[in-house]
Amino acid sequence: MLMRDLYLNMLTQSKFELLYYKAYFGHAYRVDNFLKIALTILTADFVANWAIWQTHTDIWAIGIAVSQVIQLINGLLPYSKRVDTLGPLHRKLESIYSDMENGFIKILLEDMDIEKANDLRTKYQKEWDENENTALLKDIIPRVPWLVKCSDREKVQYFKTLMGNDAVEVKTEAIELTGPFNNGRKNVPLKARTKSFIMPSQQTTMHLDMEKLTLK
């Protein structure tokens, strides 16, 4: 495999991860907000209608108990914590990705020698994995099948737009994985990740036709 292809595989995997983190951040934010709003409305309703509930003390007691249970459950759920974690992580990785993509363009345009290109690839991969593993060491982001698929489709479209639709050949080279990170759901085709144990791998890989390449 050419160094260019190795670097491209790292680049597309990293872009996929960025898009997945962004998608999961939105998912976690919506769930967390829904729970907080529901709890606020429920609690406010019981307080505002105290005069009514005085004649139905048993119902009022059940309602208060339910609201307290929801509050307890919400405190144990990971969504709020993941929102706080993924925001800063995404910004850091986005900066690394920008440098990573610029490095790939230099490889394409300058015909960089193999040793220098590999040093560049290793540098960015190490920096990426260190940030990812440190931020998510205590809380692995789950693999949500529909978010994985949506993120991969968006990744493919991104590179087709960047490099020219005809220049990008998309290949599906995923394998079936089982394990605790699938959350008991139906298996999703996932490729084995390199050094990071956290993220699912991209569903597709890409090959560039250099004769049709048109960088934008």
pLDDT digits (tens, 9 = 90+) for 100-146: 999 999 988 887 888 999 999 999 999 999 999 899 888 888 888 89
Q: What angle do CA 147, 149, 151 make, to 5 degrees?
A: 65
Please indicate whether residue 54 or residue 202 has the higher confidence score (pLDDT): 202
What are 216's two structure tokens?
């934008």
Identify the pLDDT of residue 12: 94
Residue 56 lies in a domain: no
Exposure b/e, 194-208, CB count within 10 A at least 16 = b? eebebbbbbbbbbeb
Residue 65 lies in a domain: no
Helices 114-135 and 79-110 meet at what angle, rounded to 10? 180
Residue 46 lies in a domain: no
Report how far residue 192's alpha carbon sits from residue 171's, in angstroms, rounded to the nearest whole number: 16
Nearest CA to 202 among 26, 4, 20? 20
The answer to whether the CB of 165 falls within 8 A of the CB of 124 is no
What are 116's two structure tokens?
């220098």
Q: What is the pTM of this model?
A: 0.78
Residue 40 lies in a domain: no
What are 204's two structure tokens?
């597709």
Task: Provide the domain limits for residue 135.
Answer: 3-32+77-212
pLDDT category, 63, cuts 50, 70, 90? low
The neighbouring-strand residues paired with 1 are none
Q: What angle do CA 72, 76, 79 make, to 5 degrees?
A: 120
The answer to whether the CB of 154 falls within 8 A of the CB of 146 is no
Number of domains making up the chain? 1
